Every structure is written in structure tokens, then in C-alpha cells.
Structure 1
Amino acid sequence: MHLAEGLLPFGWAAGWTLSVLPLLALGVTRLRQRMAQSPLYSPFVAMLAAAVFVVSCMPVPVPIIGTCSHPCGTGLAAVLIGPVMTVLVTFVALLLQALFLAHGGLTTLGADIWSMGVVGGFVGYGVFHALRSVRASLGVAAFAAGMLSDWATYAMTSFELASALHGAQPLGSTLGTLLLSFLPTQLPLGLLEGAFTAGAVVFISRRRPALLKFHALPAAPATP
């Protein structure tokens, strides 16, 4: 998600940023721990960060609300490396986009991470494992994870905008208007992202099935 620079009032932007810092710190800690467990972990995470960066660089403008629609890639990342690491991957991708591509902004970075990384990542991870726990096929679970992660991202973005900018209008009315604004682009994009996620996960399961276990790597033992 790329909320434009300055779109959110300072207090709201600061609140989203401060609230995401503990998850980013946890992500950095977990990255260090898991790098000690496997030399392949760091390059795999970097590859996923690059994938999220590229996938989310294909914007479809939504002019009436000052932002855009696009695939996210965080559903796939959550399936492969878990939701906490997905938050860290999202931070890297969105920061580079804000600095070098003028996609999103630095003041809105915290809100963008919340929608795409936190909500998108945790929803994708939860949906995937819930479906697998009831014996859904890998492809079906991955498709649902990618699709619902994408739609959840834009539902969260709509809430962020509505809660900060509804003014004298009822929050529910503003939220409904924003959700309707995203529907024409995000419904088909969510389906496409579901197909992309399913294809990638099934391909990896056939060629390198061990990569599907990276999200479950145990933490490195504490140094005495």
C-alpha cells in the first residue's frame, strides 16, 4: 500500500509508526536467530523482499482517495517465512519505494506497513494454516492466503484513511465509500494474487520443499 506523503494527519501517522516498531524489532531479532540456524535463511528472506518490492511496484491509481491499488506479495511471504518476518520484509520494500520511486511516503510508512505487512501478513498466514489444518490442498490454501491477504490489506487501508479523515461524516459511511472505491481494481487483483501465490507455493513444494519449513525454524539457543 502506498498512502501519499502527508495524506494522514501527523498524530495519526506517528501513531501508526510507533505502534509498528515492536514488530519490526521482533523481526530483526528473529532474523538474527534464524540466520544462525541456516546459512540459506538470509538470502531467502532477501529474495522474498525483492519479490514483494517488485510485485507491489505495479500501481493502479485510485485518484479519488489519493492512493493506488496493486498486488502486494505479502501473502506469499507470510506462507514461506511467517508473518513477523513478513512485516520486516514489507518495511524494507516500502522504504525503498518511498525513497527512490516516490511510491508512498515516509510519514505514512508506518500505516503502510500496518496494512500490507501486519494485517496482510497475519491474515495470509492464518488463512493458509487454517485451511491446511482441515486438509485443504496446498494450492487451495495458498490461493486463499494470497487473495484474502490482498483484500485484507485494502480493508485496513480504508480503515486507516476513514479513521483519520472522516471529519464530521460517520466513520462507517466514510469507510464504506473507501471500500467501494477499491472494489473495481482490488477484486480482480486479489484473485490474480491468489493465483500467483498458489502457483509459487506449489512450484516451490515440488522443487525445493524444504523452503516451506523456513517459517518454522527454531530459534538459535541463547549465548551463555
Structure 2
Amino acid sequence: MHIAEGFLPPIQCAAWFAVATPFVVHGARAVIREARRSPESKLLLAAAGAFTFVLSAIKLPSVTGSSSHPTGTGAGAVLFGPPVMAFLGTVVLLFQALLLAHGGLTTLGANVFSMAIAGPWAGYGIWRLLRTVKAPTWLGVFSAMVVANLTTYCVTSFQLAFAYPDAATGFWGAAAKFLGIFAVSQVPLAIAEGILGILLFGFFTRVAPAELARLGVVPADREVAGV
């Protein structure tokens, strides 16, 4: 998912920066607002950022000969909403570009849009939908993590198709090829990330049940074992 330095045309780099910037600015304000509203949430904010950093820094070989990794952004989207993850995800991607050579600075806008904006919003959307139909919390967490992961790679596939359309079939032909490489091979990782998300929120309910109740992740009277 980390599009490498110099891999996109300059005009597309600039366009993705322009699209991502309003989300990131809004997200920074959301982080400041949340930290002021409840100082106790700073630990969960830090945990959400660290979770995203660690998972998205892991490179695993995929069945297609490429490499893939989890994203971890669904957890923060469930806890605080997608605007917060736009900012936290940007910080994560910036550090990874500078320290780990994952992604790049010229492609930062594109990577932010796929992993820190599109993924969290999609994951949050399925989380809210399942909450509306009163699905179990664990199912909502699992689905949010899976959908956020897969959406990130689908958006990346379209970004690459815009940059490198197929000579014969154009954009849609290139999109089908990139989706076949990235999105399909990502399915097992997305499922594994969903399971990890269930374990993570089970841990959160043991160490910070009141904070989860305040954020609306679990009802105030929910027992730990009921997650």
C-alpha cells in the first residue's frame, strides 16, 4: 500500500496532497478537541497511533509475489471516528517514510488518502451500520478492521491505475490488474487483522472500560466478558 517515492507523476502527487490536506487539518483539530475533552483519552489516542504504526510497518510476502501488510486504522476509527485517524495516520506514514523507507514524501498525500482517510471512513461506516442493527460489538470491531484494510488496498489499486493505465484496456484494465494483485491477496491479512482487533478491544475493556463507555464503543453497563 505504501506507494514508493517518485512512483507517481508530480501532478498526481500534488492532486492527492490537495485532496488529503483538508481531512488531515480537520483531524488535527479533532485530536486536540478530544484530548481537551478527556485527558484520560490521551492513552487511547497514543495506543491507536502505535497500533497503526506497528501493524502497517510489518511487511509480509503475498501469494502474488508482492508484499502486503495490515493497516490498523480501523481500531482508531471505531474508538474516535475517522477524522482523528486522518491525522494519526499521517503522522504514522510520515515517520515510516522518513525512518523506514516505507512510502515516500512525494507520495505521502496518496498514501494518506488510501490508508488514513478512505480506509478509516469505510471501516467506520460498517461499524455504524452494524451498531444500528444492534450487532454484537465484536462483530462490529471485526468488520471495521477488515473493511478498513481492504478499502485501503482497493483505493491504492485505483491510484496506481490512474498513474499507469493499461496500454490496451486503459484505466479499468489496469485497475483490474492491480486489484488482482493487491486486494485479493490482502483478504487473509484483513481477516487476521479483524481477529486481532477483537483481541485488542477485549484488552481495552479490561483496562479502560469507563473510557470505552464514554466513547460509546460499549454500553455503560456492559460487562467485560460481553464484548
When the two structures are superposed, what TM-score results if normalisation uses the length of structure 1? 0.88
Residues 1:73 and 1:179: Cα distance change in structure 2 (over 3 Å) = same
Aligned residue for 2:101, secondary structure, equals: coil
The aligned runs of 1:11-30 (5 Å cut-off) are 11-30=11-30
Please say if residues 53 and 92 of structure 2, whose CA atoms lie closer than 8 Å, have aligned partners that are also in contact: yes
1:187 equivalenced with 2:187 (yes/no): yes
Cα offset, 1:199, TM superposition? 1.9
Following the alignment from structure 1 to structure 2, what is the Cα–Cα distance between the partners of residues 28 and 184? 33
Following the alignment from structure 2 to structure 1, what is the Cα–Cα distance between the partners of residues 165 and 17? 20
The percentage of counterpart residues that share the same residue type is 37
When the two structures are superposed, what TM-score results if normalisation uses the length of structure 2? 0.87
Following the alignment from structure 2 to structure 1, what is the Cα–Cα distance between the partners of residues 141 and 120? 13
The aligned runs of 1:87-98 (5 Å cut-off) are 87-98=86-97
Q: How many residues align?
A: 215
Please say if residues 40 and 211 of structure 2, whose CA atoms lie closer than 8 Å, have aligned partners that are also in contact: no
Aligned residue for 1:177, secondary structure, equals: helix
The aligned runs of 1:1-224 (5 Å cut-off) are 1-60=1-60, 68-166=67-165, 168=167, 169-183=169-183, 185-212=185-212
Residues 1:135 and 1:124: Cα distance change in structure 2 (over 3 Å) = same
Cα offset, 1:61, TM superposition? 5.1
Partner letter of residue 185 of structure 2? Answer: T
Which blocks of at least 5 consecutive residues in structure 1 are unaligned? 217-224
Following the alignment from structure 1 to structure 2, what is the Cα–Cα distance between the partners of residues 215 and 82? 10
Following the alignment from structure 1 to structure 2, what is the Cα–Cα distance between the partners of residues 147 and 84? 19
What's the CA shift string for 1:2-61, capped at 9, x where partnerless? Answer: 111011100001110111111111111122222221112333212211111111111135
What's the CA shift string for 1:73-112, capped at 9, x where partnerless? Answer: 0011111111000111100111000001101100111111
After superposing the two structures, state which structure 1 stretch, 99-108 or 158-167, moved more: 158-167
Residues 1:85 and 1:215: Cα distance change in structure 2 (over 3 Å) = farther
Aligned residue for 2:57, secondary structure, equals: coil
Following the alignment from structure 2 to structure 1, what is the Cα–Cα distance between the partners of residues 31 and 183? 36
The answer for the alignment partner of 1:219 in structure 2 is: none
Aligned residue for 1:56, secondary structure, equals: helix
Following the alignment from structure 2 to structure 1, what is the Cα–Cα distance between the partners of residues 35 and 215? 12
After superposing the two structures, state which structure 1 stretch, 68-77 or 164-173, moved more: 164-173
Please say if residues 82 and 215 of structure 1, whose CA atoms lie closer than 8 Å, have aligned partners that are also in contact: no
Partner letter of residue 124 of structure 1? Answer: G
Please say if residues 162 and 175 of structure 1, whose CA atoms lie closer than 8 Å, have aligned partners that are also in contact: yes
Please say if residues 20 and 109 of structure 2, whose CA atoms lie closer than 8 Å, have aligned partners that are also in contact: yes
Higher relative contact order (CA 8 A, sep 6+): 1
Partner letter of residue 57 of structure 1? Answer: A
Residues 1:129 and 1:184: Cα distance change in structure 2 (over 3 Å) = closer
Aligned residue for 2:142, secondary structure, equals: helix
Q: CA RMSD in A?
A: 2.1
Please say if residues 124 and 146 of structure 1, whose CA atoms lie closer than 8 Å, have aligned partners that are also in contact: yes
